[in-house]
Structure 1
């Protein structure tokens, strides 16, 4: 492939998965080009530069495990903010020298498979010049992640609002949004909504938070990390890497093996206290093994959490809106956020909470002055923050017009319109020589990004080396294999308490999206075993030709 527009592999996305994969492929002797719509590395962290944006996974679980990536790196905090995580991405980019392989400010708009030449033709739009070019590659890998397609509900008359309005995932990169002394409205109380609320309330003249579902957020506890802490981290990394690779979600801890009711009340409360005080997601993902399976166990955990958290909210009525005594869904079945002073925000006189529900009150329309709810009240605003989430897990892939082998070129969005079908959450029938990472029917939202990137990246690289060694030029998932994997993913997803909550884990936030388990919930060890079993069996479930 002498032409510079021809590569062995084209990778879409320069986040954790894209950077790791181009690094591994280049080591294996493949030519690769990464295409990213952003102007820098970082993936979702490039785009999410809204006020307060911060990682909610403790280091070192939120970093690569290769010694060269951490031996000379120093963390400033246990939970890095957006700017520091971007500095980490720059560090990795330089250590691996991947910048020459990346094409920035470029969006992949279309990809078509040619069954005669066994190559992908990939249309790329350059955002700066508004010109389109075509890349050719034997393999296409989509590293678009689970949160790359922002979702903005179709509120009526949005164009009539006279102030500024930005989605958190498309915040102006210059940081030129001034909220000081202004009336700010934040729609949404997911992770970005919680973080933006904490960051903006002190300097806003008035802050109005529009809440549909309470966020049962846990305390972050974010100490700085000095030289001694970083030295200790480097010393312990070899052992921590072993834990990361064997834990349920790629963390440096696992769930407590006992079931909640099998221990005494004193021991249970002691464990709760330890997990809660550690800060981070431990009280959620390091709790007793049945906390997300048993309603009784879940209620005991929530009652402890509520007792510890509700007193931080002074007004009893406000406390019931933010932290109801009876949870709106089983605790932990929607994505748990981390907070620093979120609940205290609502003790401030210039902060108000607007409780929304489809039954009683909702956002009716945007008006020139701000937002009008269905009860007729108008909230006057200067700036509206849309913390309204994403078309998660599958949306980044289906937003690209990808045509496979079906009659006239079947489209991936059409294939998945009635439900997602993949084999091992990494490939789909009808789309030969195409893989995707951190996407549907893989652990994804139930695992850390770096751990998933390394596992799937190693598997894809090994697969392509196998193809090259044996002289194959085409690999495609079988229909039976993807049907069996879908059934397995859905079966696992129906176990426990998760189906009781309406969440983006099941696509519930996107109107018309089929309700299904979008993630593989059996854990990283089981997923790792199944991936490598497939490889050891000569790539069972695939046809190689």
Structure 2
């Protein structure tokens, strides 16, 4: 399609992943004039960029999909945990049935946005020269956009192939017969190690903190199995998933604490959860693990027993599954793996503990680690992202008081309901900071948020409201509540990206809403009837007539 350089709409949606697509569908149904800006060349959000070897989602079928009937009734998944190729095909399918592209401009990266309080409208510019005006600005930019690359000495001296995982070469890259180094221990690193270790001549995985990775238990899905689900999907996605803590409606545990069961009974329960795969052993485990160190250690000890049994090399076993936990179980996001520990145990794979032998510098031929030169042909940086807030850092989101959003947040994030921020009227955030974002199933969470936002925008339209602006007092109260909840949990102890601790200079604070999806939606909806926490500016009769002309 031909990109539109000038757009004038009721709602501008930024970001073409699950949140943006669902927002377009909902807003169209309510009669709003909308347009979507997407920074890449296609729909898919994070799956437009995540094309590295082994890239796949860690949310399982049937929950990682939109709850839109015309989409799920006409789509068949291949695997329990789809890979990036299948997810790109899924978004092509979504576009075929919803025709999002007719209201979208691709390769449009927002770099400036200002709000005019006199007319109650945003003006949004992109790097590519597009200009949009809108009454409501809906940011569906996700939590994993801006790369994080440590400032290593000599990084620019390396003459081999240097790749960040989110910028994988188009058309792929062969590691056959090559020496490869992979830096990182998150889900991306685990997936890449699993794949490239099967191809590389030598592979070095450099790990600062071992990942408490859980068995994925990947499997193929048949058409017959999925067809039998079709009649239940709407209830599962709209009711069961939304009624759970994080969008995964797992069965409740037999007791709040593992210590309330006999050793035999709790081991039986652990084994059942472990064998189910996915996040069952994590999200479906005893809730007390998030609050009680003893209960948390019991669960970790079971995991470490199962994991160490999969490796023969005692040195690698002690690095990857240490007897003493590197952090509390689930205090950092567990990754899902298929054969990670077995592949790391191979003779041609070397595991380096960066806490014992840190990276001294990059060299022209590779890395110097603990005084040792390690020559490699390819270095993969699986070093993660500036999560939650990084996506907003390049958008030039100016507040009505002259301050940019990132300047306002430098001493701590403040949002109202994890949806909007003071001095940024009629600007809404989906899957961003101070929402349930990273603690559950993405599509379920974004659908809850978008549904709330659309209901707010509808009510504002019905009441002739020019703009809604979150009050600083409400934002402070929301931040204080999240911080207070966090301090009751073991999550507070880990230097995780949940806490913003992976980015130097970023304030260490809990960036997730922790009370679960049900309570989150209730808190958001409780604010709607009386616009609790908002300044409400009404339109005059003249302004209403001007808007009808736009």
Q: Which residue of 2 aligns with 1:225?
A: 221
TM-superposed deviation, 1:243 = 1.1
| Deviation digits for residues 292-344 of structure 1 (CA, Å, limit 9, x no counterpart) | 21111111111111111101110112101110001111111111001111001
TM-superposed deviation, 1:249 = 0.3
More moved, 70-79 vs 112-121:
112-121
Give the distance between the partners of 1:92 and 1:366, measured in 2 at CA.
Answer: 44
Query: In the alignment, is residue 139 of structure 1 matched against residue 139 of structure 2?
Result: no
- Does structure 1 retain, via aligned residues, the 8 Å contact 2:6–2:130? no
- Does structure 1 retain, via aligned residues, the 8 Å contact 2:243–2:249? no
Query: In the alignment, is residue 400 of structure 1 matched against residue 423 of structure 2?
Result: no
Q: Which residue of 2 aligns with 1:18?
A: 20
- Does structure 2 retain, via aligned residues, the 8 Å contact 1:255–1:289? no
Give the distance between the partners of 1:396 and 1:254, measured in 2 at CA.
Answer: 35
TM-superposed deviation, 1:402 = 0.8
Give TM-score, length-normalised by structure 1.
0.95
Give the distance between the partners of 2:38 and 2:175, measured in 1 at CA.
Answer: 30
List aligned pairs for 1:19-58, cutoff 5 A: 19-58=21-60
| 1:445 match: secondary structure | coil
Query: In the alignment, is residue 486 of structure 1 matched against residue 479 of structure 2?
Result: yes
- Does structure 2 retain, via aligned residues, the 8 Å contact 1:399–1:413? no
Q: Which residue of 1 aligns with 2:542?
A: none
- Does structure 2 retain, via aligned residues, the 8 Å contact 1:156–1:364? yes
Q: Which residue of 1 aligns with 2:96?
A: 94
| 2:475 match: secondary structure | helix
| 1:41 match: secondary structure | coil
TM-superposed deviation, 1:393 = 0.8
Q: CA separation of 1:255/1:151 partners in 2, compared to 1, >3 Å: closer, same or farther?
A: farther
Give the distance between the partners of 1:142 and 1:161, measured in 2 at CA.
Answer: 37
| Deviation digits for residues 7-63 of structure 1 (CA, Å, limit 9, x no counterpart) | 111111101111111111111111111111111111011111001001111111111
| 1:319 match: secondary structure | helix
TM-superposed deviation, 1:173 = 2.9
| 2:209 match: secondary structure | coil
TM-superposed deviation, 1:232 = 2.3
- Does structure 2 retain, via aligned residues, the 8 Å contact 1:243–1:253? no
- Does structure 2 retain, via aligned residues, the 8 Å contact 1:11–1:142? yes
Give the distance between the partners of 1:255 and 1:326, measured in 2 at CA.
Answer: 28
Give the distance between the partners of 1:531 and 1:94, measured in 2 at CA.
Answer: 33
TM-superposed deviation, 1:461 = 1.0
List aligned pairs for 1:130-209, cutoff 5 A: 132-175=129-172, 177-209=173-205
| 2:188 match: secondary structure | helix
TM-superposed deviation, 1:235 = 3.2
TM-superposed deviation, 1:431 = 0.5
Give the distance between the partners of 2:352 and 2:57, measured in 1 at CA.
Answer: 27
Q: Which residue of 2 aligns with 1:286?
A: 284
Q: Which residue of 2 aligns with 1:317?
A: 315
- Does structure 2 retain, via aligned residues, the 8 Å contact 1:290–1:297? yes
TM-superposed deviation, 1:273 = 0.7
Query: In the alignment, is residue 385 of structure 1 matched against residue 388 of structure 2?
Result: no
TM-superposed deviation, 1:254 = 4.9
Give the distance between the partners of 2:519 and 2:394, measured in 1 at CA.
Answer: 30
Residue 76 of structure 1, aligned match among 52, 75, 78:
78
Residue 116 of structure 2, aligned match among 114, 117, 128:
114
| Deviation digits for residues 418-469 of structure 1 (CA, Å, limit 9, x no counterpart) | 0000000000101111010100000000121111111111111111111111
Give the distance between the partners of 1:36 and 1:393, measured in 2 at CA.
Answer: 18
Give the distance between the partners of 1:10 and 1:502, measured in 2 at CA.
Answer: 36
Q: Which residue of 2 aligns with 1:337?
A: 335
Q: CA separation of 1:68/1:364 partners in 2, compared to 1, >3 Å: closer, same or farther?
A: same
Query: In the alignment, is residue 237 of structure 1 matched against residue 230 of structure 2?
Result: no
| 1:372 match: secondary structure | strand
Give the distance between the partners of 1:324 and 1:453, measured in 2 at CA.
Answer: 36
Query: In the alignment, is residue 538 of structure 1 matched against residue 540 of structure 2?
Result: no
TM-superposed deviation, 1:172 = 2.1
Query: In the alignment, is residue 214 of structure 1 matched against residue 210 of structure 2?
Result: yes
More moved, 345-354 vs 228-237:
228-237
- Does structure 1 retain, via aligned residues, the 8 Å contact 2:183–2:206? yes
TM-superposed deviation, 1:255 = 4.6
Give the distance between the partners of 2:5 and 2:368, measured in 1 at CA.
Answer: 56
Q: Which residue of 1 aligns with 2:451?
A: 458
Q: Which runs of 5+ in 2 are unaligned?
A: 538-550
- Does structure 2 retain, via aligned residues, the 8 Å contact 1:255–1:285? no
Query: In the alignment, is residue 422 of structure 1 matched against residue 383 of structure 2?
Result: no
Give the distance between the partners of 2:5 and 2:360, measured in 1 at CA.
Answer: 54
| 1:399 match: secondary structure | coil
| 1:156 match: secondary structure | coil
| 1:22 match: secondary structure | helix
- Does structure 2 retain, via aligned residues, the 8 Å contact 1:254–1:285? no
List aligned pairs for 1:364-379, cutoff 5 A: 364-373=360-369, 375-379=370-374
Q: Which residue of 1 aligns with 2:306?
A: 308
| 2:304 match: secondary structure | helix
Q: Which runs of 5+ in 1 are unaligned?
A: 127-131
TM-superposed deviation, 1:187 = 0.4
| 2:10 match: secondary structure | strand
| 1:508 match: secondary structure | coil
| 2:127 match: secondary structure | strand
| 2:91 match: secondary structure | helix
Give the distance between the partners of 1:110 and 1:201, measured in 2 at CA.
Answer: 43
- Does structure 2 retain, via aligned residues, the 8 Å contact 1:476–1:542? yes
Equivalent pairs, count: 532
- Does structure 1 retain, via aligned residues, the 8 Å contact 2:7–2:35? no
| 1:122 match: secondary structure | strand
Q: CA separation of 1:162/1:3 partners in 2, compared to 1, >3 Å: closer, same or farther?
A: closer
